[in-house]
Structure 1
Amino acid sequence: MEDILRPIYQERASQSNTLGVLLIEKKQKLSHITDSFDVILLVVVKEAERPVFIKHYTYDNKKAAMHIIAEEQLQEWLLLGTNRKIFEWLHDAKILFDRNEYVANLKTELREFPFNGRKIKMGLEFTKLIRRYVDGKALFESKQFLDAYNHVVHSLHHLARLAVIENGLHPELTVWHQVKKIEPEIYKLYEELVNSEETLEKRLELLFLASEFMIHSRTSICSVHLLEVLSGKEHWLFNEIMNEKELIPYSVDLVVLLEYLIEKHLIDIVNIETKGHGVYHRCYQVAKKLS
C-alpha cells in the first residue's frame, strides 16, 4: 500500500512548505476512524491558500484520501477539539516524512500534554458544559423534558471530556470508555440517565443535582485560564473580552460563562458612568478576593 502511494507523498515531501507526511491505515473494526477509507495520507504544510484540501484516490479496489492541512488549522483543531479524529490520526500514524522532527515533537507534546495546554482546554470544555447545563436546567424548569434531556446528555459528555483532560489525557472518540476507568462516578451518572426506570422528569431532577456538585467542584480549576487573562487589566468591557486574542475561542458561550462566574463570586461587576444619567457601562474584573 505504502509503495503504491509513494509517488504521491514523495511529491509533497519534496516541497519546502511541507512539514510532515503521515500514513493512517484503517483498523478492521474501526473504519470510522478513517471515514471508511483504507488509508489516509495526512500532509501538514506551513502555509496554504485553503486551510484544508482533500483529494480521493482508488487503487486495487481500495480507496485512499489525502488531507493537506495548514499548520494553523491543525493547531486550532488540537486546541479546540473540533476535529476529534485528528488526535487518533496523530497517535496511530506512521511517519513517512518529518521535516526537522516537526511531527515527532508534535506527538511528544500531545503525549505529555503540558499543563498550559490542559488549562486552556479545560476552560473551553467547561464553558461548553456550563452552556449546556444552564440551558438544560431552564428547559427542565419550563417542563420541556425531552429538550432538557438532550442538553443533559451533552453536558455529561462535556463533563466526561473534562475529567479526561484533568487527568492529563486527550479525550478520544471513545470518551466513555476512557471515563469508565478514570472517573466511574460520571460514567454511572450517564448510565442512570439512559437506563433508569424512573420517569424522565425524575431522572433529570437527580442528574441536575448530581451535576451541580460536580460542576461546582471544578469551577476554580477550570476558570484558571480565563481569570489569568482577565487579571491583566483592572476591568474589561464585554467587547474587549470578546476580542482578546486568547479568549476568542470562548466567544460563543462567553456571556453564560461570565454570568456563572459572577454568581460564584469569581468575577465582579464594575459600573462605570456613561454620558447618560443613571446609565453605566457594565464592566468585569477578577474578584478582589482572588487578585
Structure 2
Amino acid sequence: MEDILRPIYQERASQLNTLGVLLVEKRQKSSQTTDSFDAILLIIVKEADKPIFIKHYTYDNHKAAMHVITESQLQEWLLFGSNRKIFEWLHNARIIFDRNEYVENLKTELREFPFNGRKIKMGLEFAKLIRRYVDGKALFEHKQFLDAYNHVVHSLHHLARLEVIENGLHPELTVWHQVKQIEPEIFKLYEELVNSEETLEKRLELLFLASEFMIHSRINIGAAHLLEVLSKKDHWMFNEIMTETELAPYSVDMAVLLEYLLEKHLIEVVNVETKGQGVFHRCYRVSKKLS
C-alpha cells in the first residue's frame, strides 16, 4: 500500500514546510479507525493557507484519504480533544517521513503526557462538566427530564474523561472501557443512569446527588489551572479573563465555571468603583483563604 501511495506523499515530504508523514492502515474489516478507508495518509505541515486539507483517492478497489494538517491545528486537537481519532492515528501510524524527529518527539510527549499539559486539559474538561451539570440541574428542576438526561450523560462523560486524564492517560474513543478499569464508581453511575428500572425522574435525582459529591471531590484538580492563572493578578475584570491567552480555551463555559467556584468559595468578587454612583465593576480574584 505504501508503494502505491508513495508518489502522493513524496513531493510533500521533499518540502521544507513538511514536518512528518504518517500512514495509518485499516487493520480489521469492521474497524472505524480509518473512517472506512483502507488507509489514511496524515501529513503534518508547519504552515498552510488552510489548517485542514483533505483529498480522497481510489486504487484497485481500495480507497485512501490524505489529510494535510498544520502543526497549530494538530496542537489544538490534542489540547481540546476535539478530534478523538487523531490520538488513535498517531498511536497506530507508521512513520514514513520525520523531519528532525518531530513525530517521534510528539509521540513521546503524548505517551509521557507532561503534568502541565494534563492540568490544562483537566481544567477544560472540568469546565465542560460544570456547564453540563448546572444546565442539566436547571432543566431537572423545571421537570424537563429528557433534556436533563441528555446533559447528565454528557456531564458523566466529562467526569470520566477528567478521571482518565488525572491518571496520566489520554481519553480514547473507548473512554468508558478506560474508566471502568480506573474508577469503577463513575462507571457504575453511568450504568445506573442508563440501565436502572427506576423512573427517569428518580434516576436523575439520585445521579445529581452522587454527581455533586464526585464533582466536589475533584474541584481542586479541576480548577487548579484556572486558579493558578488568576492568582497572577490581584483581581480581574471578566473581559480580561476572557482575553487572557491561557484562559481563552475555556470560552463559553467560563461564566458558569466562575459562578460555581464562587459558590464553593474558591473565588471571590471584588467590587471596583465606576463613574456611576453606587454602580461597581464586578471583578474576580482567587479567594484570600487560598492565598
**Pairing 1:113-132 to 2, within 5 Å after superposition:** 113-132=113-132
Partner of 1:145: 145
Aligned-pair identity in percent equals 84
- Alpha-carbon distance in structure 1 between the residues aligned to 2:94 and 2:75: 20
Gaps of 5+ in 1: none
On the 8 A contact 1:127/1:257 being kept in 2, the answer is yes
Displacement after TM superposition at 1:30 (Å): 5.0
SS in 1 for 2:67: strand
**Pairing 1:159-170 to 2, within 5 Å after superposition:** 159-170=159-170
- Alpha-carbon distance in structure 2 between the residues aligned to 1:213 and 1:89: 36
Partner of 1:37: 37
- Do structure 1's residue 13 and structure 2's residue 13 form an aligned pair? yes
Partner of 2:72: 72
- Do structure 1's residue 192 and structure 2's residue 192 form an aligned pair? yes
- Alpha-carbon distance in structure 1 between the residues aligned to 2:103 and 2:289: 43
**How many residues of Structure 1 are paired with residues of Structure 2 in the alignment?**
291
SS in 2 for 1:23: strand
Q: Which amino acid aligns with 1:72?
A: S
- Alpha-carbon distance in structure 1 between the residues aligned to 2:6 and 2:183: 44
- Alpha-carbon distance in structure 1 between the residues aligned to 2:12 and 2:183: 43
- Alpha-carbon distance in structure 2 between the residues aligned to 1:156 and 1:26: 31
- Alpha-carbon distance in structure 2 between the residues aligned to 1:14 and 1:144: 58
On the 8 A contact 1:13/1:97 being kept in 2, the answer is yes
Partner of 1:26: 26
- Alpha-carbon distance in structure 2 between the residues aligned to 1:26 and 1:118: 30
Q: Which amino acid aligns with 2:174?
A: T
- Alpha-carbon distance in structure 2 between the residues aligned to 1:80 and 1:92: 20
Gaps of 5+ in 2: none
Structure 1 length as normaliser, TM-score? 0.99
- Alpha-carbon distance in structure 2 between the residues aligned to 1:230 and 1:30: 47
Displacement after TM superposition at 1:81 (Å): 0.6
Displacement after TM superposition at 1:29 (Å): 5.0
Partner of 1:56: 56
SS in 1 for 2:22: strand
- Alpha-carbon distance in structure 2 between the residues aligned to 1:75 and 1:168: 18
**Pairing 1:229-268 to 2, within 5 Å after superposition:** 229-268=229-268
Residues 8-38 of structure 1: per-residue CA shift (max 9 Å, x gap): 1111110100000000011215532211111
Q: Root-mean-square deviation (CA), in Å? A: 0.7
SS in 2 for 1:72: helix
SS in 1 for 2:290: coil
In structure 2, the CA distance between the partners of 1:166 and 1:280, relative to structure 1 (3 Å rule), is same
Runs of 4+ aligned structure 1 residues displaced above 4 Å come to none
Of 29-38 and 79-88, deviating more is 29-38
